[in-house]
């Protein structure tokens, strides 16, 4: 059974002029693709519980949709276990979007099940949550297919983000769930204090000093492959993800659970 790496990132609220009553943590899921790489849902659930997280956020692709087939059972099993313990906020990745396009009835059943579990499924919408008296403005951005197909990307107008999810909120910590990290500059211009992304699976193969080798788009040595990046006071954390799909391989790149530690 493979090991799930836990990567902690500190969020210092004083940098944003905000305060919380106490420290707390949030777990970030990305690119599960309905199966934990070299592990399973039982172990992932245990790992999440051990972190003591009070919030679950997903940057997309919990399901897998490829070659005209889809699978959601492992994703739903994980969310069912977690939803009864703390609030869960999900955004769509390109696999959820593709499932909706090709199998709309099954996608509807999937989202209805999430709703029945009390999950907040953010598809181009925003919700305000409160943890330890800190207001969190959580926005889920769904990118259209064209933003994933071009190996060098296309222009994402920050104004279009506002049209989809609304404006950033003052006196709140603004979190943008946006699956593809390539468009970080646009996310920062929209006003995200923190963007959570995935999609690149950590570059699939990671080399010392060089980082991730390939993205699913595909392109070699993607700019935002894994870790923390900043533009001004806007940060983005890119998860290496939990699973695989077409390329069932991860080298020097274990399944990863990101944990955000909110501190003063």
Mean pLDDT throughout 227-246? 96
Give yes or no for a contact between 226 and 211, defined as CB atoms under 8 angstroms apart.
yes
Mean pLDDT throughout 48-73? 95
Mean pLDDT throughout 149-161? 86
Domain count, the chain: 1
- Cα 110 to Cα 77: distance, rounded to the nearest angstrom: 12
Is residue 208 one of the residues assigned to a domain? yes
Is residue 1 one of the residues assigned to a domain? no
Is residue 36 predicted with pLDDT exceeding 70?
Answer: yes
Is residue 185 one of the residues assigned to a domain? yes
Q: Among the listed ranges 100-114, 116-130, 206-220, which one has the minimum average pLDDT value?
A: 206-220
Give yes or no for a contact between 28 and 226, defined as CB atoms under 8 angstroms apart.
no
Q: Among the listed ranges 74-88, 95-109, 222-236, 237-251, which one has the minimum average pLDDT value?
A: 237-251
Residue 176 is part of a domain; what is its CATH number?
Answer: 3.60.21.10
pLDDT score, position 151 = 66
Give me the domain span that covers residue 104.
6-263
Is residue 40 one of the residues assigned to a domain? yes
- Looking only at the bridges linking them, the beta strands covering 173-178 and 134-141 are parallel
pLDDT over 90 for what percent of the chain?
A: 86
Mean pLDDT throughout 154-158? 93
Is residue 206 one of the residues assigned to a domain? yes
Give the pLDDT band of residue 1 (cuts 50, 70, 90). Answer: very low
Is residue 58 one of the residues assigned to a domain? yes
pLDDT score, position 17 = 95
Is residue 123 one of the residues assigned to a domain? yes
**pLDDT tens-digit profile of 73-109?**
999 999 999 999 999 999 999 999 999 999 999 999 9
pLDDT score, position 212 = 87
pTM for the whole structure: 0.96
- Looking only at the bridges linking them, the beta strands covering 88-91 and 56-58 are parallel
Reduced to 3 states (helix: H, G, I; strand: E, B; else coil), residue 177 is strand
Residue 65 CB burial class (10 angstroms; 0-12, 13-18, ≥19)? buried
- Cα 31 to Cα 200: distance, rounded to the nearest angstrom: 9
Give the pLDDT band of residue 6 (cuts 50, 70, 90). Answer: very high
Tell me, rounded to whole angstroms, the distance of Cα 33 from its chain centroid: 12
Is residue 60 one of the residues assigned to a domain? yes
pLDDT score, position 215 = 80
pLDDT score, position 85 = 94
DSSP letter for each residue of 23-59: -EEEEEE---TTS-TTS-HHHHHHHHHHHT-S-EEE-
**Would you call the peptide bond into 218 cis, given omega within 30 degrees of 0 as the criterion?**
yes
Q: Among the listed ranges 9-18, 123-132, 208-217, 255-264, which one has the minimum average pLDDT value?
A: 208-217
- Cα 10 to Cα 194: distance, rounded to the nearest angstrom: 12
At residue 173, φ and ψ (nearest 5 deg) are -90, 115
Mean pLDDT throughout 216-241? 93
Is residue 115 predicted with pLDDT exceeding 50?
Answer: yes
């Amino acid at each position: 059974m493979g090991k799930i790496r836990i990567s902690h990132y500190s969020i210092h609220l004083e940098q944003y002029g905000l305060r919380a009553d106490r420290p707390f943590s949030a777990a970030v899921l990305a690119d599960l693709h309905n199966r934990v790489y070299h592990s399973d849902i039982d172990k992932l659930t245990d790992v999440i519980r051990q972190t003591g997280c009070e919030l679950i956020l997903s940057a997309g692709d919990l399901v897998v949709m490829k070659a005209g087939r889809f699978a959601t059972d492992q994703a739903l099993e994980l969310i069912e276990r977690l939803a009864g313990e703390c609030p869960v906020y999900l955004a769509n990745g390109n696999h959820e979007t593709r499932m909706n396009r090709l199998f709309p009835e099954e996608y509807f059943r999937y989202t209805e099940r999430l709703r029945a579990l009390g999950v907040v499924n953010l598809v181009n919408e925003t919700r305000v949550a409160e943890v330890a008296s800190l207001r969190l403005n959580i926005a889920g951005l769904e990118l259209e297919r064209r933003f994933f197909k071009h190996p060098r990307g296309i222009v994402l107008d920050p104004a279009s983000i506002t049209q989809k999810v609304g404006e950033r909120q003052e006196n709140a910590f603004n979190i943008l769930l946006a699956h593809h990290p390539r468009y970080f500059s646009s996310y920062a211009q929209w006003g995200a204090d923190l963007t959570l992304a995935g999609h690149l699976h950590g570059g699939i193969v990671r080399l010392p000093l060089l980082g991730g080798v390939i993205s699913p788009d595909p392109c070699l040595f993607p700019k935002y492959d894994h870790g923390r990046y900043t533009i001004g006071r806007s940060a983005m954390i890119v998860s290496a993800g939990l699973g695989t799909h077409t390329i069932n391989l991860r080298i020097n790149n274990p399944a990863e659970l990101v944990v955000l530690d909110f501190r003063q």
